[in-house]
């Protein structure tokens, strides 16, 4: 059974550019959530996808968007990058939405310069 | 709005000590609470999931308790080892589809040999 995998592990982008981060959920999991973790802070919820539909969103602007594919893998897209978007982006998968254990990937470190 | 506080923010102990990490949350209407470990720059590793009906969960040297009515959870680590050095995060979750884990800033533990 493979765990949650994220790609890439690190990347550097310039302010104003767009970025796509990818996440493969754990086998059998149909729910994927994305979190942003700034240095020294706890993770902040961006949004959740369940069976290819967004079914929950945190306090993030619309330039943060996502997709979930039929195999339940997911993408996080961020447009018009700002310096404050520099953070560790974490993906978590769960066997279902709601009250269930979440399993996290190793994260993608995004640096915006 | 759920808020999570973890005390202490940092803790340094010699190897072999038993220790307690505290987590408090403001909204007691949760269904479960999950404890995670995070090594520097890495993703989150799930340690324990406590359902509200269970009140307590054990895994090896780790024991976590949950008191919903008082909005508190504790993580007990027995016979600490240098390999336990990491940041520990607690995250309550509401019983509702599309809801997120809400994190505090964590407790950073350093165990010296």
**Segment B68-111, tens digit of pLDDT:** 999 999 999 999 999 999 999 999 987 676 678 999 999 999 99
| A107 contacts on B by Cβ (under 8 Å) | 41-43
H helices of B10-56, in order, are: none
**If you count residue pairs, one on A and one on B, with CB atoms under 8 Å apart, how many are there?**
73
- Taking alpha carbons only, the member of B79, B106, B78 closest to residue B90 is B106
Test B100 with A55 for CB contact under 8 angstroms.
no
pLDDT tops 60 at residue A99 = yes
CB-nearest to B98 from A4, A56, A106 is: A56
pLDDT band at A82 (very low <50, low <70, confident <90, very high): very high
pLDDT recorded at residue B73: 97
pLDDT tops 90 at residue B1 = no
Residue B4 contacts A where some CB pair is shorter than 8 Å: yes
Q: Spell out the residues 6+ positions from residue B60 whose beta carbon is closer than 8 angstroms to its own.
A: none
Q: How many CA atoms within 13 Å lie on the side-chain side of B55?
A: 3
Test B97 with A97 for CB contact under 8 angstroms.
yes
């Amino acid at each position: 059974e493979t765990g949650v995998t994220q790609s890439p592990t690190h990347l550097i982008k310039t302010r104003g550019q767009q970025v796509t981060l990818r996440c493969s959920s754990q086998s059998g999991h149909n729910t994927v959530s994305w979190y942003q973790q700034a240095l020294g802070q706890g993770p902040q919820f961006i949004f959740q996808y369940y069976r290819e539909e967004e079914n929950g969103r945190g306090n993030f602007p619309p330039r943060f968007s996502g997709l979930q594919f039929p195999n339940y893998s997911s993408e996080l897209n961020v447009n018009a990058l700002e310096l404050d978007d520099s953070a560790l982006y974490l993906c978590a998968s769960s066997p279902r939405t709601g009250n269930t254990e979440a399993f996290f990937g190793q994260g993608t470190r995004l640096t915006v310069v | 709005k759920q808020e999570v506080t973890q005390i202490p923010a940092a803790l340094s102990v010699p190897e072999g000590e038993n220790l307690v990490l505290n987590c408090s949350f403001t909204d007691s209407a949760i269904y479960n609470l999950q404890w995670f470990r995070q090594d520097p720059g890495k993703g989150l590793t799930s340690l324990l999931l406590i359902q509200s009906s269970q009140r307590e969960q054990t895994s090896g040297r780790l024991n976590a308790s949950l008191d919903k009515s008082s909005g508190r959870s504790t993580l007990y680590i027995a016979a600490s080892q240098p390999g336990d050095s990491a940041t520990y995060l607690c995250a309550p979750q509401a019983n509702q589809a599309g809801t997120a884990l809400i994190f505090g800033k964590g407790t950073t533990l350093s165990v010296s040999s």
